[in-house]
């Protein structure tokens, strides 16, 4: 898998370099068809923002909120195009092959750095296959358990998991789906804490939370937005969040790093990408728009309500995050020997 991955990266890097002269030759014609918005010039035409999920989810909602801001800042239409399929790979592959003219963008989550190591047939490279535009926001996973488990701390939970595994009655820990961020958060915790349980995958966070509420499973790593209402209602017990710092939404809940495993970090994130070789001027204008949105109190309030923490880091920040996540998930998935098709 690693050999195939390196070969694919070299091919994509070569394709990205080859695209540069073609864009440079077309630059004068493109410059004649631009509009000037509040944050700079932009090619005049409808822009599609690809989203690798179906309409209605949190990533889709974030994309539509972002598209509204881009509409306003550039004075033209940015249209969200939902492209679910193959766990996001359909959208990722469409974006990496698109013309680098600013008219196709991709709003992606950290799944873009996970999928190449879960699937044998992936036709994109998260590092070389895109022009990073901006980190838009981050989010935490939270480990929640059913109250009947009678644990209130991460240490108690880990001790119970070890006892149950030794007795041949392992805990049933759910996830929103095989290969999801929630699943991999649990896998990383198992590897670091040297504990085992039975993984119970669901088709989404909603069904997993519902079964946890019903007592059909014992625990779950899931996004804050899916669990905060149940935590606040004391229907579920929150043991820890996966980010390096505590969540604004759950300030009394410790991080995994402070409660048990120093250095533990699973930070979900959402970033805006363009096809490789997209001109720097276009990338910079888009990043300015995202930064403006992140500093808008009304936008921040809406994002926090979705469980997101606005960030708006520039291309370098997003590129570094992609590289680090790619290296981390390659190691975790290989060690756990997880394969999806």
Say whether 160 sits in a helix, a strand or coil.
helix
- For the question of whether the overall pTM of this predicted structure is more than 0.75, the answer is yes
pLDDT at 18 over 80: no
Report the pLDDT value the prediction gives residue 258, as an integer from 0 to 100. Answer: 97
pLDDT: is 308 or 266 the higher one?
Answer: 266
SS3 116: helix
Is the pLDDT at 152 greater than 80? The verdict is: yes
Predicted pLDDT of residue 25: 33
Q: Are 173 and 149 in contact (CB under 8 A)?
A: no
Residue 31 pLDDT > 60, yes or no? no
What's the pLDDT score for residue 312? Answer: 85
- What is the DSSP annotation of 290-319? HHHHHT-HHHHHHHHHTT-EEEEE-HHHHH
Report whether pLDDT(335) > 90: yes
Cβ burial of 198 (10 Å; 0-12, 13-18, 19+) is: middle
Residue 306, pLDDT score:
80
Residue 8, pLDDT above cutoff 80: no
287 close to 255: Cβ distance less than 8 angstroms? no
User: What average pLDDT does the segment 247-273 reach?
Assistant: 95
**At a CB cut-off of 8 Å and minimum separation 6, what does 184 contact?**
114, 266, 329, 332, 333
The runs of H, that is alpha helices, within the chain are 2-31, 58-74, 89-97, 111-114, 154-166, 181-193, 205-213, 224-232, 256-259, 280-294, 297-305, 315-336
Topology (CATH level 3) of domain 2-138+268-336: D-Maltodextrin-Binding Protein; domain 2 (3.40.190)
41-65 confidence digits (pLDDT tens): 899 899 999 999 988 888 899 999 9
Q: How confident is the model at residue 248 (pLDDT cuts 50, 70, 90)?
A: confident
- Above 60 in pLDDT, residue 4? no
Mean pLDDT for the stretch of residues 192-221: 95
What are the structural domain ranges in the chain?
2-138+268-336, 140-259
Structure confidence by residue, pLDDT tens digits, 300-325: 888 888 888 899 899 999 999 999 99
Domain 2-138+268-336 and domain 140-259 have a common topology: yes
CB 126 within 8 A of CB 271: no
The topology under which CATH files domain 140-259 is: D-Maltodextrin-Binding Protein; domain 2 (3.40.190)
Q: Look at residue 5 in the predicted model and tell me its pLDDT.
A: 47
Overall average pLDDT of the 137-162 stretch: 96
The tokens for 24 are 């440079």
> If pLDDT is split at 50, 70 and 90, which confidence band does 252 have?
very high
Q: Lowest-pLDDT range, 26-30, 195-199, 212-216?
A: 26-30
Average pLDDT over residues 204-229: 93
- pLDDT score, position 33: 76
Residue-wise pLDDT tens digits, 58-97: 889 999 999 999 999 999 999 999 999 888 999 999 999 9
Q: 15 pLDDT exceeds 80?
A: no
């Amino acid at each position: 898998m690693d050999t195939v991955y390196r070969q694919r990266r070299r091919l994509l890097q070569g394709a990205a370099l080859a695209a540069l002269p073609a864009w440079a030759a077309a630059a004068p014609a493109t410059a004649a068809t631009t509009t000037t918005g509040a944050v700079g010039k932009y090619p005049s035409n409808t822009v599609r923002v690809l989203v690798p999920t179906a309409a209605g989810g949190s990533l889709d909602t974030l994309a539509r909120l972002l598209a509204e801001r881009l509409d306003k800042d550039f004075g033209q239409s940015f249209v969200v195009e939902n492209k679910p399929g193959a766990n996001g790979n359909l959208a990722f592959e469409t974006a990496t092959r698109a013309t680098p003219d600013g008219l196709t963008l991709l709003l992606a989550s950290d799944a873009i750095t996970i999928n190449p190591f879960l699937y044998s047939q992936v036709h994109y490279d998260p590092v070389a296959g895109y022009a990073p535009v901006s980190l838009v926001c981050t989010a935490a996973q939270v480990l929640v358990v059913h109250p009947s488990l009678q644990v209130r701390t991460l240490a108690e939970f880990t001790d119970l998991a070890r006892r149950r595994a030794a007795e041949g009655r392992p805990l049933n820990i759910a996830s929103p789906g095989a290969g999801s961020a929630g699943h991999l958060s649990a896998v990383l915790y198992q590897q670091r804490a040297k504990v085992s349980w039975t993984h119970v995958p669901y088709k989404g966070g909603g069904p997993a939370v519902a079964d946890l509420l019903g007592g059909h499973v014992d625990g779950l790593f899931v996004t804050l937005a899916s669990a905060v209402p149940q935590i606040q209602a004391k229907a579920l017990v929150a043991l820890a969040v996966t980010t390096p710092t505590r969540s604004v939404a759950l300030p009394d809940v410790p991080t995994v790093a402070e409660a048990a495993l120093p250095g533990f970090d699973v930070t979900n994130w959402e970033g805006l990408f363009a096809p490789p070789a997209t001109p720097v001027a276009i990338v910079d204008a888009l990043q300015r728009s995202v930064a403006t949105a992140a500093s808008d109190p009304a936008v921040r309030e809406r994002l926090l309500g979705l469980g997101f923490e606005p960030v708006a880091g520039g291309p370098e920040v997003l590129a570094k995050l992609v590289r680090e996540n790619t290296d981390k998930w390659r190691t975790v998935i290989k060690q756990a020997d997880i394969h999806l098709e």
